[in-house]
Amino acid sequence: MKSVHLYIIIFGFLLSANIFPQDVDIIPYLKQIESGNKKDVEVELPSLISKNPDSPSVLFLEGVLTKDGEKALVTYSKILDKYPKSKYADAALCRIFSYYYAAGEYYNAQKCLEDLKKDYPTSSYIKIAERDIPAADQTAIAEEKGSNQITQENIQKYKFTIQAGAFTNSQNAAALKKNFEDNGFFSETKDKVVAGTTFRVVYVGKFEDKEEAENFLHVINREFKLDGRVVDIP
């Protein structure tokens, strides 16, 4: 299913991208990534950036190759701030939507979808994003009660955890999980597929009440230099 979603997104790039002579054609690189040759593109990226420092397309390619979800978010946001009319601006906004949705920040994800519809009404990514965003009532239920996949033990005892990060690179997620475990903290990871992008979400700790979780959150954010948040146990 993941490969089908990825194909849809790459196919969307090919349909929506109007290649202008003043910018770089990154479609061959996107095709390489789709074909599993991501490392080859990573090798070429520094040269592309050096030769084309003001290219929004190269900036988008950099975001696609960025393994840390939060750093990729900064790159995509830069495209929207500096190049809102560029051919990959709507794709960048869809990627931001994907990050927020994977992180469980449904309000921000919904806002991104609204901006996508308003600023890029003909974008092929609107339908892709709409398939993933929950209805308002579902969002409220998810935020108040957590996932319906919580085990009976957790329902009876543990209610909250800390969402420490969301990564497109499983090795980065595994490294953070191991760091927590090496320091004596319970940690687990779960995959979440949003708009064709798979995120590995890292959680740390289990708590019976929200106040306990909030107190632990301050410690985790400070000690590990994170920007985590308290969430219901997924």
What CATH number should be reported for the domain holding residue 166? 3.30.70.1070
Domain closes at, from 77, 109, 137: 137
What CATH number should be reported for the domain holding residue 34? 1.25.40.10
Residues 19 and 115 in one domain: yes
Contact predicate 224/179, CB 8 Å: yes
Residues 130 and 152 in one domain: no
Query: What is the per-residue pLDDT for 134?
Result: 52
- Separate counts of helices (H) and strands (E) for the chain: 12, 4
Residues 62 and 126 in one domain: yes
Pick from 77, 51, 76: nearest CA to 65: 76
Contact predicate 108/229, CB 8 Å: no
Residues 97 and 129 in one domain: yes
Query: What is the per-residue pLDDT for 132?
Result: 58
Residues 112 and 150 in one domain: no
| Run of H or E residues at 152 | helix 152-156
Domain closes at, from 83, 118, 137: 137
Residues 69 and 87 in one domain: yes
Taking CA atoms, 161 is separated from 45, 167, 179, 208, in Å, by 37, 18, 17, 9
Domain count, the chain: 2
Query: What is the per-residue pLDDT for 24?
Result: 87
Residues 112 and 160 in one domain: no
Residues 94 and 157 in one domain: no
Pick from 196, 195, 205, 209: nearest CA to 226: 205
Query: What is the per-residue pLDDT for 133?
Result: 58
Query: What is the per-residue pLDDT for 78?
Result: 92
Residues 154 and 91 in one domain: no
CA 9 – CA 128 distance, rounded (Å): 8
- Amino acid identity of residue 4, one-letter, is V
Ordered per-residue pLDDT tens for the chain, 234 residues = 333 344 444 444 444 444 444 688 888 888 888 777 888 999 999 999 999 999 999 999 999 888 877 788 889 999 999 999 998 999 899 888 888 777 777 788 888 999 999 999 998 888 777 765 554 434 333 434 443 343 444 445 778 889 988 888 888 888 888 888 776 678 899 988 877 778 889 998 888 888 888 887 887 888 788 888 888 887
Domain closes at, from 113, 137, 161: 137
CA 92 – CA 75 distance, rounded (Å): 9
Query: What is the per-residue pLDDT for 226?
Result: 84
Residue span of the structural domain in which 175 resides: 146-232
Pick from 85, 88, 94, 80: nearest CA to 126: 94
Residues 20 and 79 in one domain: yes
Secondary structure (DSSP) of 60-101: HHHHHH--BHHHHHHHHHHHHHH-TTSTTHHHHHHHHHHHHH
CA 86 – CA 80 distance, rounded (Å): 8
Residues 172 and 110 in one domain: no
Query: What is the per-residue pLDDT for 86?
Result: 92
Residues 124 and 9 in one domain: yes
Task: Tell me the pLDDT tens digit for each residue of 124-146.
Answer: 888 777 765 554 434 333 434 44
